[in-house]
Structure 1
Amino acid sequence: MIDHLLKANCQTVHLGGFSHKLSPALTVNSGDRISVETYTGFKICDRAPDAFLTAELIEIYHNLPPERIVGDGPHLLTGPIYVNDAQPGDVLEVRLEAISPRLAMGFNAIRGGWGALPQEFSEPRLRFIPLNLEQNCAEFPPKSGIYIPLRPFFGILGVATTESNRSSIPPGIYGGNIDNPELQAGSRLFLPIFVPGALFSIGDGHSAQGEGEVNVTAIETSMNGTILLKLHQNLSLTAPIAETPTDIITMGWGSTLDEAFEFALKQMIQFLENFIGLDAEDAYVLCSLAANFRITQVVNSPKKGVHGMISKSILPQTFKFIRDDHF
């Protein structure tokens, strides 16, 4: 295992989407650990206070090469990371070892025409929100006495596909803009691989987010992280699946919440069949008795998201999902 440092600069970030044509920012072997820097707020740099800006972000804002702009999304992502020997059909494990804000400042934006209530809240608004990193909270609204606990996570964790310029906005079976606040440090995400090398990218840091992310954004935050990438060539997945210290999480996306829920439910049934050994009907019943399905986000048009969670405490004691002593 080798430890790498992947800093965010004009040669190691890309804007707006995913593309298999991007030059890798880093090449690693399976099992390598990467300390990674990410920035957010590329599109609002011209309106940001000094506390939000760094010399590196300003340099990226002014000098990002055109070939590193690959989609219409607003997200600045670090990567892609090429994993040696990764091939389509394999699975990439992303082990989230540490996640922490780079700066004591984040932002929230209402975008005109977006969000869960675009007619009621149609005017664009941009708010910068200080983070109290010592107390691990943010007060919002200012001077309200309402303190939001910080639960930092990366909103985007995804791999490239054969699509040359895929927007960073909608999530899908490749991961991407998942926006799942359960993916805290100590979790693992498993992604199907579609192109050689996987070409994994990371970003869209959130210091806090409610499930649903109803006004389009969370507390968007430039974020540091430590991840470990591991290749699984004897595992087959048709959609991402995650494991936290307490739960197995399946994910679903669709143009409606009904479609997203149905996808997440079918993925949970498939997990219970493939890894626990239940038949489909028993798995379906168990989901009704013990699984919880939650709205992940409703704003990453055109895909809404639902995730299903089942506690590992109720599963057989012999169960290990892709065995790892960490869990």
Structure 2
Amino acid sequence: MIGRFMHRVRRALPAIALAGLAAAAVAAPPAPPARAATDTMAAADHAAKALRDADQFALISGRGSAHACQAGFESLRHAALQGKASDQLLFGALYLHGRDCGSFHLARDDDKAVLYLAHAAIQGRLLAMPALAELEVRRGHALEANVWALAYLHYAVPAQQDTGYPASLLHRTLGMLSKTQNKQILADANAFILRYNAGIEAGLYRQMLTSARKPTACRLRPVDAHHRVHLPQPFSQIRIRPMQRALVLYLVAFGRDGRVHKLAPVFAVPQWRDARRLRAISGYRRVQPAPACGQALRWALLPVELDNHHYRISGRTGHS
């Protein structure tokens, strides 16, 4: 009896299994198309990036909760350690001046500023060079300050152009040298350029390709170099000391209408207060409107130079 029963069960098992699989196939919902899954992942990535951008802006601007600023610090530090030059520039600039953001405090640290800014500079982020030169002026390191000033002059200033801030920087740094150092500095600067030229030129080439690439609706092309900023009012009403030379780098978020939505100084040389004085001018910058972006903000690094009563966009940089 038991033997015949087990034999019947073994014969029935394949049919039972097939019936179960058929029932499961009927009950299971159809697999979503691959495109829908890709769109969902893209939306999640976009939301995560928007949150990182907001946290980093809170940190850089000093306006935000301690939690947001801590999150911005951690995400920026992670990107800088991954070797991303634009993030190294931002991260080093935080240590250049220090930041207070609610109860979050980041103390000024010259050594860390040099570490991250130098890595950004040798990857072609030229605006890290004047920041490093000014930092070494502050520390009284004449040779280092002049090497960075000469490198900036070499790479960033086109021929036959009124150099303005770079010239004033070089004038101040050369004044720090002794007679012996004066003879040594050109050899040091040439040695620096010989050693790092390939990396700097490669970084500049990548930035050129990014700038030349046609931007999508929600992606901002890096800000071009040496574009004049038109003043909405006479210079005499701006209340800036005459003949002052300054360079300020801002992190700017443009809205879908192409107008500045958010703006915060990343660094200001030679003095931090120059950032406040040039802020109003920077707010008048416009880019191509992008209504298809919805509420998405487009970010860029905007360098503004004050040179002999003229403001202008200076240097080559971008942020993504």
TM-score, normalization: structure 2?
0.24
Indicate the structure with greater helix content: 2
Name which one, 1 or 2, has greater alpha-carbon Rg: 2
